[in-house]
Amino acid sequence: MRQSRRPVKDYMSKSPFSIVIPNYNGHDLLDEYLPSVFDAARSYSDQYEIIIVDDGSKDQSVDLLRRKYPEAQVLVNERNVGFGESINRGVNTCKNSIVVLLNNDVWVEKDFFEPLLGHFDQERVFAVVAKGLIEQDGKIINESITRLEFKEGFLNLIQPGLLNPEAKFDEVCTVAHACGGFSAFDREKFLALGGFDSLYYPFYWEDVDLCYRAWKRGWSVLYEPNSVAYHRCHATIDKIHRKKQVDMLRARNQLMFTWKNLTDTGMLFDHSRSLIVYLIKAPRSFRWGFYEAMKKAIQVLRRRRVSHKGDRYTDREVIVLSANKPVNGCI
């Protein structure tokens, strides 16, 4: 699965950075993938910290970390609070201005950090996502390239690499969001936006939501092809959640994302009209997701009232700006 790569360009500075890794019952994953993170961090700089947030694991994850990886700082949640809240706790604990978020099922190449972190000398950069590669049906697929599409009343996240596995994405470009599993973030901006929203517990769409709000604020999200991460997709989720439940969570969180973030009157009208029609013919998982989203409607509206303070761009402008536009030099 791991591929050879072309040489990376030279980057100017090597700022101190932090790494945050959430974990839930990931003993075997940590033991397999964590060594690559340490190797890459040491190869790049001696000014780093690794924070692992254990989200109430029932296995021996914490014992493994304390015994085999004493260099890592381990934060233990007394109860399971989900992906977003675990990340928020880690980011709040960090000492450095750049934070790299990695899943516990991600293996990184030795020169992973230099290209990824080299963009943060630009003031407008909010996040940078690495080239995330997964294996699907015997093919290596790039899951990092994303854009937004408003179609038939829904704001959808499109992944061109999944639609066309043969496509090559070899240039720095804008993307809709930086996946929370293999991306770097400006810590100050991350905290200014309030971090990942707990509405999306236990997972899905929290990173899309955060980056969408960053785009509206006038900050940029970029894709860096020279930083490569290999992702064993859903290694944790598949162990603890049934497919029907995962499908429901996707639908629920996409709906909450739409209700919370869309401010364009025409788009909201189209969404309302399409939603009524779609509910009649929708699969059961979507109807279940709609019901669960409606239970949180008051919370969504409260978030909506405060989420758009400081917005510089409209929904339509964000869709255009984040649509995989090549980036040459400063942005």
Q: Does residue 228 sit in helix, strand or coil?
A: strand
**Residue 168 located in a structural domain:** yes
Q: Are residues 279 and 186 in the same domain?
A: no
Q: Which amino acid is at 277?
A: V
> Which of the 8 DSSP states describes residue 326?
B
Structure tokens at 54: 């254990």
Distance CA 151, CA 326 (A): 24
Total domain count for the chain?
Answer: 2
Give tens-digit pLDDT for 246-297: 899 999 999 999 999 999 999 999 999 999 988 998 899 999 999 999 999 9
Distance CA 130, CA 225 (A): 6
Domain edge (last residue) among 187, 219, 240: 240
pTM, to two decimals: 0.91
Domain range for 174 is: 17-240
pLDDT bracket for residue 235 (50, 70, 90): very low
User: With 90 as the cut, is the pLDDT of residue 66 above it?
Assistant: yes
Mean pLDDT of the chain: 91
Whole-number pLDDT of residue 242: 72
C-alpha dihedral, 242 to 244 to 250 to 255, nearest 10°: -140
CATH code for the domain of 159: 3.90.550.10
Q: Are residues 178 and 282 in the same domain?
A: no
CB 189 within 8 A of CB 162: no
Q: Flag the least confident range among 56-65, 124-133, 166-175, 226-235.
A: 226-235
